[in-house]
Structure 1
Amino acid sequence: MPTEATPPLKDGDMLAAVDLGSNSFHMVVARYLLGQLRIVDRIKETVRLAEGLDGHGGLDPSVMPRALDCLARFGQRIRTLPAPRVRAIATNTVRQLANPQAFLMPAETALGHGIEVVAGREEARLIYLGVAHGNPPEPGRSRLVMDIGGGSTEVIIGEGFEALERESLQMGCIATTRRFFGDGRINRKRWKEARTELAAEFQQFAEAYRRRGWHEAMGSSGTIKAICDVSVKMKLTKVSVTSDSLAAIRDKLLDYDTIDSIKLPGLSSERRPIFAGGLLVLDAAFGALGIERMYVSDHAMREGVLYDLLGRDRQQDPRDESIRALQSRYVVDTEQAARVEATAMSLFDQAELPWRLDADNRRLLAWAARIHEIGLVIAHSQYHQHGAYLVENSDIAGFSRTEQQTLAALVRNQRRNPNPASFDKVPDRLVANVQRCALLLRLAVLMHRSHDRDPLPVVELDVDGNDLLLRLPKRWLEGHPLTRLDLETERDLLPGYGHRLLLRTT
């Protein structure tokens, strides 16, 4: 049977977020009570996935067992939760893999749930959302939030619960330690050269951030928390990291010659091997952005994912607003988009049961219909290809990279010859249904090619396996010769998807 639309959250329902970070894997489980989320369980394991990156898009096989073992333990904890109540996010390390499916397929099996890969700026949005909910901002006061992960660093300026500026840099505590101190040795000369190099990367957006300004700065990662712990233990600060305390910690660290010999108050043995890289990133950020003091939040991306799930349940899905923004940015004919969407949804309703389509398929098809013509802003010729490129490569708030690649595949295949390669980035577990949604979008786009405002007649669709039987009134079809020709052409193209189109008149 198809997956039915998930009923709204009710008191007692459980939600879970899984964060597959480059250094640690986190899982947080919450119960929904009286309109709020109450955390009931947290699990964190140090996996250091980024240590397995070989610089060529490959992952050392020795890293896989500890990642999969961790996910299996997470999976046991959330085994009884329905799929729509769980969201698992993979970040920088998986983004860098040449073949992410080689990791994601066994990882999803171990967890028992799908895993989405998010782009850096979407990761930044989720981080800000988590910090904002964990540390409610004062009205009218902006905040800079920074998260130093294992492989990337996100820097955000936001106000209220909205991220206004989002940046993601390819530097993190593991990646930076390996990049500058790969032989285990540290000294002041190396540090100065490395700090200058990292500061240059922050300079890409430092001026714009300084102009916008912020009232307070908060750090949300284990790295910044560890630096704060050292600052407190050294009696430099009480609850924060300052530019002065950061300089004192840096000077103390540089008294040591090797990573292994570092002994700082409050620094755990687990954090020691990657502490220098994380401190270096924060040192460069303070200098480039002019940060004077940074407080630490216990909330991060995993909590942001939970609140994002809650927003979707409350019909406050940021993806809907992002689609509207795309329509506006690329001057989409919204009336035409609405006509195509209505027909696509009608066809979906008729194919849902026999094809076992689900609520996620319906949402993606609707979004694809709303923006199927965005490529026209570039050129009419091959506009479906231009549109797919824009969808896949734009920063679209609320969408994971997996969702954007799926949406791009739908836009790419709305017309002309099938493009099987466009589905290669779609997870194998989703490909069959995404291809079927592409067929429904093709028919909807075809039926409205003339941009005619007159309503269509009743379009009947029966599906049986890979066969589609389309019924249209004979008289209407005779009066629309272009549509008839397009349907006959479509009949010749669909075998490229492994499907067959049959036409009948009523």
Structure 2
Amino acid sequence: MAAIDCGTNSIRLLVADLPDPSAGPQAPLVDLARRMEIVRLGQGVDRTGRLAPEAIERTRVALAGYAAEIDELGVDRVRMCATSASRDASNAADFRAMVERTLGVAPEVVSGDEEARLSFTGAVRGLPADAEPPYLVVDIGGGSTEFVVGTRDGGVQAAISVDIGCVRMTERHLHGDPPTADEVAAAQADIAAAVDRALAAVPGREAATLVGLAGSVTTVVAIAQDLKEYDPERIHHARVPYERVAGVTADLLGRTAAQRLAIPVMHPGRADVIGAGALVLKVIMERAGMSSVVASEHDILDGIAWSQQPV
């Protein structure tokens, strides 16, 4: 089967075989391909309320490549979920028509609640034994961040999606290169207000373990580990203390985009928005009272894959 996650900043593909049901509830997916392209579909959506034609075209090019790989690997089932940017846009029908022409299936514009549940499912399978439940899973995207509280056995207890993400916060507040102290303060206040709303809706402060998902988190964790290249195996399930996250965040916000781009683990499409993404993670840790974060390379993409498992 194939899973495609089309977010505000990136579009990702997972082609995998589902494990045999007899292998048990913690048996992993058998990955055949994982791909990621930065297409910035949500470019300007916070300001204009529309998907930019050039952003739709960038997404089409990436999706055409994924469609070719799906055909080559002989996939039986495809599910594509589109998230924050395509929920917000007034011209979402143009995006939907492009996907159907290119991929042959319609995208599902999932609700924030469904997005949160898919992220939780993908993240909690295979968590190490020292990650104590209940979990607060946060998926920091380009346009929104999902907060989900639950356990592996009991599933999701509560979930909410709020409109803070690395692209949205950068476009709204962080205009300088590097951003000014006033810009950072304004972004931090905006993020803190949204995080407090989320934590009033879900009991995140009662969770024992914070699990962080998506590129902003994994990039911060890679920097915190002083990796010389992006290594998913070393990032997956790494635990980083708050003090290190705060230090990396301050460093990123103090650099120009060109200086961030020179960091060995930095994806070129993330350099201009990583400061805001790191700030979202730092504020979540502060407001939820979390002393550390466990990174997961498995997230909504894996959740989309698991959702295709026969009942």
TM-score (norm 1): 0.54
Provide the C-alpha distance between the structure 2 equivalents of 1:88 and 1:244, rounded to a whole number of angstroms.
37
Corresponding residue for residue 372 of structure 1 = none
How far does residue 279 in structure 1 lie from its aligned partner after superposition?
1.2
1:107 equivalent among 99, 103, 106: 99
Corresponding residue for residue 258 of structure 2 = 260
- Residue 40 to residue 57, structure 1, CA distance change in 2 (3 Å): same
**Could you report, residue by residue, the CA deviation over 1:148-197 in whole angstroms, capped at 9, with x for unpaired residues?**
11111111111115111111111111111111113444123321232122
The answer to whether the 8 A contact 1:129-1:304 is kept is yes
2:183 equivalent among 190, 195, 200: 190
- Residue 186 to residue 119, structure 1, CA distance change in 2 (3 Å): same
The answer to whether the 8 A contact 1:184-1:260 is kept is no
1:175 equivalent among 160, 168, 181: 168
Matched, 1:64 2:56: yes
Which SS does the other structure have where 2:302 is aligned?
Answer: helix
Q: Which has the higher contact order (CA 8 A, sep 6+)?
A: 2
Which SS does the other structure have where 1:272 is aligned?
Answer: coil
Matched, 1:129 2:115: no
Corresponding residue for residue 143 of structure 1 = 135
**Could you report, residue by residue, the CA deviation over 1:242-278 in whole angstroms, capped at 9, with x for unpaired residues?**
211122123323443x433445564344321111110
RMSD: 2.6
Corresponding residue for residue 309 of structure 1 = 308
Corresponding residue for residue 24 of structure 1 = 10
Provide the C-alpha distance between the structure 1 equivalents of 2:75 and 2:224, rounded to a whole number of angstroms.
41
Which SS does the other structure have where 2:125 is aligned?
Answer: helix
The answer to whether the 8 A contact 1:134-1:298 is kept is no
**Could you report, residue by residue, the CA deviation over 1:283-333 in whole angstroms, capped at 9, with x for unpaired residues?**
2211211121001111010110111111xx12xxxxxxxxxxxxxxxxxxx
- Residue 180 to residue 212, structure 1, CA distance change in 2 (3 Å): closer
**Could you report, residue by residue, the CA deviation over 1:356-380 in whole angstroms, capped at 9, with x for unpaired residues?**
xxxxxxxxxxxxxxxxxxxxxxxxx
- Residue 210 to residue 265, structure 1, CA distance change in 2 (3 Å): farther
The answer to whether the 8 A contact 2:159-2:202 is kept is no
- Residue 100 to residue 211, structure 1, CA distance change in 2 (3 Å): closer
Alignment of 1:47-446 (within 5 A): 47-53=39-45, 55-79=47-71, 80-82=74-76, 85-135=77-127, 141-161=133-153, 162-207=155-200, 209=202, 213-233=206-226, 239-256=238-255, 258-262=256-260, 264=263, 266-310=265-309, 313-314=310-311
**Identity between Structure 1 and Structure 2 (%):** 29
Which SS does the other structure have where 2:142 is aligned?
Answer: coil
How far does residue 139 in structure 1 lie from its aligned partner after superposition?
10
The answer to whether the 8 A contact 1:196-1:284 is kept is no
- Write the letter of the residue equivalent to 1:172: G
How far does residue 124 in structure 1 lie from its aligned partner after superposition?
0.4
The answer to whether the 8 A contact 2:46-2:168 is kept is no
2:38 equivalent among 35, 41, 46: 46
Provide the C-alpha distance between the structure 2 equivalents of 1:204 and 1:65, rounded to a whole number of angstroms.
35
> Gaps (5+ residues) in structure 2?
22-26, 229-234
Provide the C-alpha distance between the structure 2 equivalents of 1:151 and 1:216, rounded to a whole number of angstroms.
24
How far does residue 49 in structure 1 lie from its aligned partner after superposition?
0.8
Higher helix content, 1 or 2: 1
- Residue 23 to residue 299, structure 1, CA distance change in 2 (3 Å): same
Corresponding residue for residue 232 of structure 2 = none
Provide the C-alpha distance between the structure 2 equivalents of 1:95 and 1:47, rounded to a whole number of angstroms.
17
Which SS does the other structure have where 1:294 is aligned?
Answer: strand
Provide the C-alpha distance between the structure 2 equivalents of 1:16 and 1:266, rounded to a whole number of angstroms.
27
The answer to whether the 8 A contact 1:23-1:150 is kept is yes
Which SS does the other structure have where 1:49 is aligned?
Answer: coil
- Residue 192 to residue 208, structure 1, CA distance change in 2 (3 Å): same
- Write the letter of the residue equivalent to 1:160: R
The answer to whether the 8 A contact 2:174-2:187 is kept is no
- Residue 240 to residue 166, structure 1, CA distance change in 2 (3 Å): same
Provide the C-alpha distance between the structure 2 equivalents of 1:75 and 1:110, rounded to a whole number of angstroms.
7
- Residue 20 to residue 205, structure 1, CA distance change in 2 (3 Å): closer
**Matched pairs, number:** 294
- Residue 63 to residue 223, structure 1, CA distance change in 2 (3 Å): same
TM-score (norm 2): 0.86
